[in-house]
């Protein structure tokens, strides 16, 4: 039987995972990538002996990647090794308190009791509920297309709908957390999980309380070699399955005729294919590749997720009080989110996230030094003066860390690189620099996220963080699975 041709536009995590799945299905797969490297947001760079992962820094649900290798019949350990970590994150508060979020539930509960006087049963109960919501609701809605009748006929849907109580949809995550916990520190800690998909805990639904299950119950992991090793593993697996990659080769247009995809235009040449999967932000796919500005504009009705400003600092010292993942909270969390989402500005007192991979592997930084990935949540780009913003923000971050760690940070910064929303859009084609496409700042946002296919052009599919089920490595891998299963079902119907 003659193999069918598939074209993937973009080699982000979802694009590569889709390529692997389609190659296993027997497709001859070609991937076109505008950058000189695979991985999309999951990239890395070296500067003056310091290694920096440029994008996502948290690794959860390794089973999504393991499933890909199993499907491809390849041993994962030949491509990627990773280890669980005991402390998911260390949290620092302006009142001097600190909390180590152990990935052991009883250890985490005991820590919250000891540090902020939170009742252990509150924590255990919350994590149990988080697991229940994920297993009963998340596993259906995150693993299947919400835009197919078949999903709603699934026998598990009844149980899922029974679990979706009024409070999970119509109560904000913050209000939900405020009712669950007695200490403001625990409330703020669990509010933070809304930022995992670029949302505001004071607006996003309590349904997002399923997110802590991934990090605290299922565990947090570290991939050997840093996060870039995940992108490299997917790339090498795709190559092993016969996938062809073309770098520095942007797609100019998607060709379609009479409601059917025909291929793409690359370097002014028509390349035909039986199906096309776009791993490009769905807004840019419609605007630039399909030349459909009306549809692209319609997608903007949904509020964009937050973006970020990231400082990559080579620090000529080591800090034993810091972990792999660290959070320094703002005093007024609500004001911070109002500033980001309502005023479209950065907070004067931002919550600061610091990731230090040299805690796990000394070779990630020169001896006795540390590689700091310092990130704050930022509004999507609407024309702010980012050069001015970065100067002010840098001073605010340094002042905050000096105060909370009792140090003098400025003289320790040996090397620096900065990323802002404009640069994020330029490098990763994420519209407005939004890290997760649309936000979840409305009750039913998940149901309005763009589908993984279009009813108007047969054979055209979408994967990645801007479409269902959302952004972040686990969800991008799930979007690849959804797309490959939709294609498989379509092929069965034809035969």
For residue 78, tell me if it sits in a domain: no
What are the C-alpha distances in Å from 153 to residues 84, 140, 146, 158, 197?
37, 11, 11, 9, 28
Same domain, yes or no, for 125 and 192? yes
How far apart CA 339 and CA 325 sit, in angstroms, is 25
Joined together, the tokens standing for residue 17 give 């995972």
For residue 323, tell me if it sits in a domain: yes
> Across the strands, what pairs with 390?
none
Same domain, yes or no, for 276 and 354? no
The predicted pLDDT at position 492 comes to 81
Contact 461, 488 (CB under 8 A): no
For residue 193, tell me if it sits in a domain: yes
Same domain, yes or no, for 239 and 314? no
| Positions of the chain with pLDDT lower than 50, given as ranges | 1
- Count of structural domains, the chain: 3
For residue 140, tell me if it sits in a domain: yes
Q: Cα angle vertex 366, ends 362, 371, to 5°?
A: 75
Predicted structure pTM score: 0.94
Same domain, yes or no, for 378 and 263? no
* Full residue range of the structural domain in which residue 205 is found: 106-223
For residue 88, tell me if it sits in a domain: no
Same domain, yes or no, for 387 and 464? no
The predicted pLDDT at position 422 comes to 96
Same domain, yes or no, for 327 and 421? yes
Neighbouring C-beta atoms of residue 130, cutoff 10 Å: 23
DSSP codes joined into one string, 168-181: HHHSBHHHHHHHH-
For residue 46, tell me if it sits in a domain: no
Closest listed residue to residue 475, CA positions, set 12, 8, 14, 10: 14
The predicted pLDDT at position 148 comes to 64
The predicted pLDDT at position 409 comes to 98
């Amino acid at each position: 039987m003659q193999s069918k041709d598939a074209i993937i536009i973009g080699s982000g995590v979802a694009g590569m995972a889709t390529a692997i799945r389609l190659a296993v299905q027997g497709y001859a797969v070609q991937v076109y990538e505008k950058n000189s490297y695979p991985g999309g947001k999951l990239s890395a760079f070296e500067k003056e002996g310091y290694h920096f992962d440029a994008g996502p820094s948290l690794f959860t649900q390794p089973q999504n990647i393991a499933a890909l290798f199993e499907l491809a019949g390849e041993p994962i350990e030949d491509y990627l090794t990773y280890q669980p970590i005991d402390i998911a994150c260390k949290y620092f508060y302006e009142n001097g308190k600190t909390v180590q979020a152990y990935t052991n539930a009883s250890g985490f509960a005991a820590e919250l009791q000891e540090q902020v006087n939170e009742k252990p049963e509150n924590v255990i109960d919350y994590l149990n509920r988080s697991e229940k919501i994920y297993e009963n609701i998340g596993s259906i809605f995150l693993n299947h297309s919400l835009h197919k009748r078949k999903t709603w006929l699934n026998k598990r849907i009844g149980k899922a709908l029974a679990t979706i109580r009024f409070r999970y949809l119509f109560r904000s995550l913050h209000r939900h957390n405020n009712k669950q916990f007695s200490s403001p520190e625990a409330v703020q800690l669990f509010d933070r999980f809304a930022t995992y998909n670029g949302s505001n805990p004071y607006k996003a639904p309590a349904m997002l309380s399923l997110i802590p299950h991934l990090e605290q119950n299922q565990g947090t992991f570290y991939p050997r070699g840093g996060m870039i090793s995940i992108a490299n593993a997917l790339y090498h697996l795709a190559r092993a399955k016969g996938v062809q990659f073309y770098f520095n080769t942007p797609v100019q247009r998607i060709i379609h005729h009479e409601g059917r995809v025909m291929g793409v235009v690359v370097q002014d040449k028509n390349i035909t294919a039986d199906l096309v999967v776009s791993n490009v932000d769905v807004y840019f796919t419609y605007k630039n590749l399909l030349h459909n500005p009306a549809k692209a504009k319609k997608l903007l009705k949904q509020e964009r997720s937050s973006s970020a400003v990231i400082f990559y600092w080579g620090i000529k010292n080591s800090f034993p009080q810091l972990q792999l993942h660290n959070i320094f909270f703002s005093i007024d969390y609500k004001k911070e989110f109002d500033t980001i989402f309502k005023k479209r500005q950065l907070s004067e007192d931002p919550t600061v996230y610091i990731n230090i991979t040299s805690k796990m592997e000394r070779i990630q930084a020169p001896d006795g030094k540390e590689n700091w990935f310092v990130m704050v949540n930022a509004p999507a780009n609407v024309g702010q003066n980012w050069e001015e913003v970065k100067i002010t923000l840098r001073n605010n971050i340094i002042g905050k860390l000096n105060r909370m760690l009792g140090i003098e940070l400025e003289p320790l910064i040996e090397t620096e690189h900065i990323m802002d929303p404009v640069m994020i859009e330029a490098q990763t084609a994420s519209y407005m620099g939004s890290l997760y496409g649309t936000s979840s700042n409305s009750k039913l946002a998940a149901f309005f996220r763009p589908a993984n296919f279009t009813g108007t052009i047969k054979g055209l599919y979408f994967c990645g963080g801007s479409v269902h089920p959302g952004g972040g490595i686990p969800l991008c891998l799930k979007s690849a699975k959804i797309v490959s299963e939709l294609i498989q079902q379509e092929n069965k119907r034809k035969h």
